[in-house]
Copies of this chain bind each other. A is one copy, B any other.
């Protein structure tokens, strides 16, 4: 089936929001990227240039001219009503604050066409936390992407009990249309599928590290050899970024918070953020 979406607006032009807009534009959709100010849009343009460069460096069969043209075709907007006036689908990727997101949906409810489907990219909130603000429970769900969208191309799709299944089908079709593998959840699950697996796995690795059972390189080698995986848990921490690992751990139980404190003291306070800074549990390049 086809999504029948043509015009897609992405709210929030941060790292992931800009990747979503880019990935959607590259696959032929008319894309609008919304952020709150001219300063934010200026930053977003720089971010988009970096994404184009990274994408062309990684995706061998990409046509550079077509990719650059698709990116150049993204329309930037700072006026919410103008940004969504003709949108078939709005993907919300604004910062992870319940009150901020609820405010965005209350505003959207006023200005988005009745037919427009709304999707949240929230990682930590459930769509049922937001649905009351949308004014259109049957056309609202979560559509969750991962960082490095063209490589880690999962799109987790999770509705509330009130989401129209036909709308979820269209959103899944859209996910395929932009090169994603749709991951359909049958019910709401905090952390979706991926983080429901990843967080306990990384917690277990952090526990071995905190108890000093073995060092990160030994723990990682064990996992790689036993499962054939390319990366062990501490390599994943470095890829995800130690700031993100800290943010997840500080919100956890006492053991997780102890790990967060260790990350702060031995890594973040020394500028060791993982792959992005060139050093974390391992040194890069």
**B-binding residues in A (CB < 8 A):** 146, 152-154, 156, 181, 183-187, 189, 193-194, 196-201, 203-205, 207-208, 211-214, 218-219, 221-223, 225-231, 233, 236
B197 and A205: CB pair below 8 A? yes
Chain B residues within 8 Å of A183, by CB: 214, 218, 221-222
Q: CB < 8 Å: which of B153, B193, B222 contacts A213?
A: B193
Contact indicator A184/B229 (Cβ below 8 Å) = no
Copy total for this chain: 2
Establish whether residues B185 and A196, one from each chain, have CB atoms under 8 Å apart when the complex forms: no
8 contacts between A and B (CB under 8 A): A154-B226, A187-B211, A196-B207, A197-B219, A197-B222, A197-B233, A200-B203, A229-B229
- In the complex with contacts A213-B185, A228-B230, A204-B208 CB distance below 8 A: no
Q: A185 and B156 in contact (CB under 8 A), knowing A197-B222, A200-B204?
A: no
Q: Give A185 to B219 CA distance when docked, in angstroms.
A: 9
Which of these, B212, B226, B229, B233, contacts A186 with CB under 8 Å? Answer: B212
Across the interface, do A193 and B208 meet the contact criterion of CB distance under 8 Å?
yes
CA distance A75 to B198 in the complex (A): 46
Q: Once the chains are docked, how many angstroms separate the CA of A189 from the CA of B221?
A: 17
Determine whether the beta carbon of A181 is less than 8 Å from that of B214.
no
Q: How far does the alpha carbon of A183 sit from the alpha carbon of B200 in the complex, in Å?
A: 22
Contact for A204 among B201, B225, B233, CB less than 8 A: B201
Q: Can you list the 4 inter-chain pairs with the closest CB atoms, starting with the nearest?
A: A229-B229, A200-B204, A201-B201, A193-B222
For A189, give the chain B residue with the smallest CB separation.
Answer: B213
